[in-house]
Structure 1
Amino acid sequence: MTILEAEIGQVDGVRIFLGRYDSGRWYARAYLPHARGEGASRRVRHALGFGMTSHEAARLALEWAETQRAAWGVAGSSRTADMLAAYIDHLGGVAGREPATTSTYRSLLRCHIAPAIGAIEVADVRPHMVQRMYQKMASSGALAPSSIKLVHELLSGAWKWFRELGAVDLDIMSDVATPRSRKAVTGYFPAHEVKAIREAIAPILADDSAGRNVNARSFAMAVLIALGTGLREGEICGLMRRDVRDGRLSVQRKLTESAGRPEYGIPKDSSVRNLTLPPELDEALQAHFAWQDTWMRRTGPSTPVMCSRCGQPIRPSAVSRWFTQLVRSLGISHGTFHTLRHTHATGLVAGKGNLAEVARRLGHASVNTTIGNYVHASPRDDVELAMLSGEVAKGGE
């Protein structure tokens, strides 16, 4: 129970109060008037200790407030979510930092970190809280191991920055174990799973009702494009009508999400390229455009291939979420939208496609990337190699 609390001064417009519990313990409280995204004040409390006079406690309270002024100035709040948002803003101004990286950090903060530890004062976060958050992310399947490592990378850099600002006394991340990657059971969808996925999206693509199920049809079309071309989700969402012409597809841009807003950029590794479309996919795209013409007020060369009802491009994160829900509903317990890219690459190589041409279609700078990351062995490979081994053993007879 508090028996005393009185204002003792201000630090950069932040009102500082001194209080004492009935146990005799003193504390300082700061009222932060401009918390990020909030209109109301936020209160931050700091324990000072026992056995001191009010003058000594007031001096310690103001000294503590001085150490926090840098953190309050950049974030407007000492909550973990606000401090991390300020750190990401700081990274955005660092020369050489990829905009896509800060965009990914913002998405991870908003969707995964903030719900877990965002409301906790940054000075009160402990290593076991972060470790428990990692464990929940991994066990729920909400994030891939590589994404959990990105979360760790973000938090590790942030806590070093917080120490420089004086917002925390210790770098708690030095006591948090780096998340361990686990190798995926399979990196591609086998034939029976591809068949199940295609059967699931077929009714959606066949529904030609004007303006109905706009997002679902765009999502289904994205799946068909990924299976037929191996494009990344950002590249698919960045496609415009002018990129599809005479049976060919031009990959000129990708769509990313920066600070919650969609932005166009150059494809990964500057992999601008032209691809010949499978006839079935070309026909499906032309049917998709004809369907869009029945309900969109105006279409043209710059109309997004994947667009919402209002004509805006659909975001890659929305496509990924929809696809994950689709495959889980089909009883497929593994894989994400990016697995469609693995499936496409593996199918081309299994069909004896030229590796150099496969790498070009996928937008890889090196064939080694194609072999190391996107080509997966199938049971049929072992059988074919056994037959070949038998021929070699016979001297090629």
Structure 2
Amino acid sequence: MAYFRKVPSKKAKSGYTWSFTIETGIDLLTGKRKQTTRRGFATKKEAENAAKELSTQLENGLNIVDNKMTLNQYLPKWLEMAAKRKVKVTTFVNYENVINNRILPVLGHLTLKDLNGSVCQKFFNLLIDQELSDGYIKSIYKVFNISLEKAIDWDLILKNPLRKVDIPKARKRNYTVWKRKELLYFLRVAKDESLDYFSLFFVCIYTGLRKGELLGLKWEDINFKDGTLHIQRNQVYLKGTFTYGSLKTESSNRVIKVDDETLHILMQHKKRQNELKLLYGSQYSNENLVFCRKNGKPMHPRALAVFFDSIIKKAEVSKIRFHDLRHTHATLLLEAGVSLKEVQERLGHSSIKMTGDIYAHVTDEMKSNASKKFSEYMQKNS
């Protein structure tokens, strides 16, 4: 159904023009009726003909673009209606952070109509000028791009303006890892400070587990007889609540072998934990976590980070992130002569290419050593 009205106009000889408004369906995002208005017709008859033509086009499948919605309105709805149902909790939190902390403060007031290639390029140039890392800028682009592609699916825009935007290519990150001597000294200091944290650090260093995998480890995941750990869940801390979700990739669900010393440390850790269970009685949490607070409840990741940094400071070793213990483990494995394929499976990487890309600096040294050993062998007794 179309609605017609006169619109005052100084330019028209008659002193007015005609416009019409036509309903184009229901907006799936807001639940409200969608309407399109066209103006500037000299007579009512012209407006009626144009309305009739547009109605016919709509019946034949023409999409009417809603270009009045702002990013402040659209992006939160996209998060709730689309992203939340497709990605893992941790990924969703990252999406929220990118949108609320980076995109909306700068572009939130703009309508989808105002969002063009030039505006978007200026936005990413601003991010570059702020000296954000290439990888972080790429992740902002990814989230923004996915959201705008969905806006096309929902008939809110016709084209994605990000398709014409240039962003810097993410450079390979140089990971900071500890040498064997630093690692051993760190563990010595940690053992003097806290046996429970020492056990956690030791297992992390000797297995290469991610922090979420480590904090999600339960006693039933450990087979002391076979000397294996089954990595099958990830602990997530979100808005004051601990949850246990799926792992980063399918290959992250894995069973890894551990050495006798690691098993011994885990046994001693379990013995101390059993003593705490007797002490706390019914107040001890029954989650059966390997690494937890003294009452058995999940360990706060922030508390772990603070203690980790304090040991680094006391040990006077190189400052690294907790996640770099995983890189240290992998680097030392490769330096010890473990194959790239074995390292990939131990870390739970989805492909051997990913492992090779991350540890290219180590594999280059391995190639040089291989060449040197071959040359020495050929020259032996020649």
TM-score tier after normalising by the smaller chain length: 0.5 to 0.7
Please state how far the C-alpha of 1:182 moved relative to its aligned partner: 1.3
Q: Per-residue deviation at 1:250?
A: 2.5
Rounded Cα–Cα distance in structure 2 between residues aligned with 1:73 and 1:256: 37
CA offsets per residue over residues 203-261 of structure 1, 9 Å max, x none?
A: 4433x7xxxxxxxx4xx654432211112233222210222242634224121549766
Aligned to 2:233: 254
- The reply on whether 1:239 has 2:201 as its aligned counterpart is no
Match of 1:350 in 2: 335
CA contact (8 A) 1:237 1:254 kept: no
Q: Alpha-carbon deviations, 1:325-369, whole Å to 9, x = none?
A: 669966846x54443223212222322235554444333566555
Aligned AA for 1:116? Answer: R
Q: Deviations over 1:278-306 (max 9, x none)?
A: 34433433343344442653355x41223
Whole-angstrom CA distance in 2 between matches of 1:236 and 1:83: 37
- Structure 1 counterpart of 2:217, one-letter code: L
Letter in 2 for 1:174: R
- Tell me which residue corresponds to 1:181: 170
8 Å CA contact 2:232–2:254 kept in 1: the answer is no
Give the match's secondary structure for 1:263: strand
The one-letter code of the counterpart of 1:229 is: T
Quick one: structure 1 residues 114 and 272, their matched pair in 2 at CA, closer, same or farther if it must change by over 3 Å? closer
What CA distance in whole angstroms lies between the structure 2 residues aligned with 1:272 and 1:205? Answer: 30
1:121 equivalent to 2:109? Answer yes
Match of 2:60 in 1: none
Q: Residue 51 of structure 2 corresponds to which residue in structure 1?
A: none
Residue 132 (1) aligns with residue 126 (2): yes
Q: Report the CA distance shift for 1:378/1:365 in structure 2 as closer, same or farther (over 3 A).
A: closer
Question: What is the number of equivalent residue pairs in this alignment?
Answer: 319
* Shift, 1:108, TM fit: 1.9
| Cα deviation 1:8-59 (Å, max 9, x = unaligned) | xxxxxxxxxxxxxxxxxxxxxxxxxxxxxxxxxxxxxxxxxx9799xx99x8
Tell me what 2:183 maps to.
Answer: 194
DSSP 3-state at the match of 2:82: helix
Name the CA distance, whole Å, in 2 between partners of 1:373 and 1:379.
Answer: 12
Amino acid at match of 1:117: I
Q: Match of 2:74, as an amino acid?
A: M
- Residues 169 and 271 of structure 1: CA distance in aligned 2, closer, same or farther (over 3 Å): closer
Distance 2:129 2:303 in 1: 26
Matches within 5 A, 1:122-161: 122-123=110-111, 126-127=119-120, 128-133=122-127, 136=130, 138-139=132-133, 145-161=134-150
Q: For residue 41 of structure 2, what is the aligned residue in structure 1? A: none
**Distance in 2 between the 1:185 and 1:287 partners?**
36
Distance 1:359-1:309 versus aligned 2 partners, 3 A rule: same
Q: Output aligned runs, 1:297-312, within 5 Å.
A: 297-298=283-284, 302-308=287-293, 311-312=296-297
Aligned partners of 2:334 and 2:363 also within 8 Å = no
Tell whether the 8 Å contact from 1:252 to 1:267 is kept in structure 2 after alignment.
no
Q: Give the deviation of 1:88 after TM superposition.
A: 3.1
Other structure's SS at 1:275 match: strand
Tell me the SS of whatever aligns to 2:290: coil
Question: Where does 1:32-181 land on structure 2 (aligned, <5 Å)?
Answer: 71-73=29-31, 80=71, 83-92=74-83, 97=86, 99-100=87-88, 103-119=89-105, 120-123=108-111, 126-127=119-120, 128-133=122-127, 136=130, 138-139=132-133, 145-165=134-154, 171-181=160-170
Tell me if structure 1 keeps the 8 A contact 2:228–2:255: yes
Q: Deviation digits for residues 65-89 of structure 1, max 9, x if unmatched?
A: 9899555459xx9664663343233
Gaps of 5+ in 2: 1-8, 33-67
Query: If you compute each CA radius of gyration, which structure gives the higher value, 1 or 2?
Result: 2
TM-score, normalisation: structure 1: 0.60
Q: 1:186 to 1:299 in 2, by over 3 A?
A: closer
**Contact 1:152 1:179 (8 Å CA) reproduced:** no
The answer to whether the 8 A contact 1:229-1:277 is kept is yes
Paired position in structure 2 for 1:225: 203
- Return the letter of the residue paired with 2:255: N
Q: Give, as a single letter, the amino acid of the residue that structure 2 aligns with 1:133.
A: L
**1:274-353 to 2 correspondence within 5 Å?**
274-293=255-274, 294=276, 296=280, 297-298=283-284, 302-308=287-293, 311-314=296-299, 318=302, 332=318, 336-353=321-338
> What is the CA–CA distance in structure 2 between the aligned matches of 1:323 and 1:342, rounded to whole Å?
20
Range 182-191 or range 160-169, more displaced: 160-169
| Distance in 1 separating the partners of 2:70 and 2:247 | 35
- TM-score normalised by L of structure 2: 0.62
Contact preservation (8 Å) 2:285, 2:295: no
Alpha carbon RMSD of aligned pairs, Å? 4.8
- Where 2:217 maps in the other structure, the secondary structure is coil
More moved, 322-331 vs 337-346: 322-331
CA contact (8 A) 1:250 1:274 kept: yes
The amino acid of 2:75's aligned partner reads L
Offset of residue 114 of structure 1: 1.0
**1:109-160 C-alpha deviation (Å, 9 max, x unpaired):** 3334312333422526742234423554725xxxxx5454233111012123
C-alpha contact (below 8 Å) 2:341/2:352 kept by paired residues: yes
The offset of 1:380, in angstroms, is 7.4
Change (3 A) 1:107 1:365: closer
Q: Secondary structure at the match of 2:229?
A: strand
